[in-house]
Structure 1
Amino acid sequence: MSDQQLEPGTWRIDTVHSILGFSVRHMMVSRVRGRFERFDAVLTVPEDPLRSHVRATIEADSLNTDNEQRDNHVRSADFFDTATHPQWTFESTGIRTSGEDFLLDGELTVRGTTRPIELRLEFNGVTRDPYGMTRAGFHAETEISRSAFGVDIEMPMDGGGVVVADRIRIDIDAEFTREEG
């Protein structure tokens, strides 16, 4: 996948050194940013790294925008209904090259609805840490439509536009460690 190859094997996300963030336009004039605090991912790499597979789970109620009132509203049935749909998943379906980077295709399930998505994927390389663990880094980003996943709350503004936009930007910085043995 680059000058530095991923070794075949199973790689697990290091959540302490990874972030799953998002942003959405608010009131048509600014962006609200947030992240998910609890998630997991496993990357399986065969001899041909372009045939790799990733599966991720996200604990939906771990959403954090640094505002408790807003977070509770977004967790409610108005938006993500995390009491009924506590976990989201992503399962990759393929990887393609795109210049020096890659496109990661997969299926994202949010609020019980599964849709295909495409993430722009940057491979940041491989290194060995001081403890002998092999680490690999990635950056991925995409935009999704919240209404495509059944999050179709409409809050129109008097002057036009909506309180919360339909397009959500997702930014992921992921560090994986290779399981030895």
Structure 2
Amino acid sequence: MTTSEQTTIAPGSWTLDAAHSSVNFTVKHLGISKVRGRFNRFETAFVVDNEGKAVIEATVYFDSFDTGNEYRDNHVRSADILDVANLPHLTFRVPEGIKVAEEFEVTGEATIGGITKPVTLDVEWGGVQLFPGDNKNHAGFNATGSIKRSDFNVAPGLPTAMLSDKITVELDIQLVEPEA
């Protein structure tokens, strides 16, 4: 694990500020261009113990897939690609507490439809800041990584010349500090 300066974060269960968070992706189409989009529905659990170690869990709901093109989005949600009827979500879980630092790696377990594989995210910690909108401390981070659709048996019949196997994900997450 790569770490830089250690960061102190209040213990307790931090809640997701969904209005200031996003789960984005990039995938190559036909090997010539990138399609970018987001998932509009996701949730996370971020629990910090008294030693400053965080346990992280997240769920991304595939029915919220959004590229801004309704025809394409409906096709991707179909059995041809994401098959949201049978593979409704991706879960990511970091089973052991991790220390938050300015920059660090998080390796967790991603699960789609009963298949679990390790996934590593590079994380840049944004820090903690008082938000005047609710007069609470908010913490933020950006995490990037990639998954292979073939590892999770997603769209197994779709050639990689049409849709790349590698999908890059970028998470911009803001959390609200627990009540004292």
| TM-score in same-fold range (> 0.5) | yes
The one-letter code matched in structure 1 to 2:163 is: V
Separation in 2, partners of 1:2, 1:54: 20
100-109 vs 142-151, which moves further: 100-109
TM-score normalised by length of structure 1: 0.88
Structure 1 equivalent of residue 118 of structure 2: 116
Whether 1:40 aligns to 2:43 is: yes
8 Å CA contact 2:23–2:38 kept in 1: the answer is yes
Separation in 1, partners of 2:131, 2:82: 38
The one-letter code matched in structure 1 to 2:170 is: D
Shift in Å, 1:57:
1.4
Per-residue deviation, residues 106-141 of structure 1 (Å, max 9, x unmatched)? 111123321111110111000111132110000000
Separation in 2, partners of 1:33, 1:162: 17
How many residues were matched structurally? 175
Whether 1:5 aligns to 2:4 is: no
Shift in Å, 1:154:
4.2
Q: CA RMSD in A?
A: 2.0
Structure 2 equivalent of residue 70 of structure 1: 72
Per-residue deviation, residues 56-111 of structure 1 (Å, max 9, x unmatched)? 1121100001111211121112222111222321111343788x511111111123
Instruction: State the SS of the aligned residue for 2:56.
Output: strand
Structure 2 equivalent of residue 90 of structure 1: 92
Structure 2 equivalent of residue 18 of structure 1: 21
Unaligned runs of 5+ in 1: none
Separation in 1, partners of 2:100, 2:9: 15
The one-letter code matched in structure 2 to 1:23 is: T
TM-score normalised by length of structure 2: 0.88
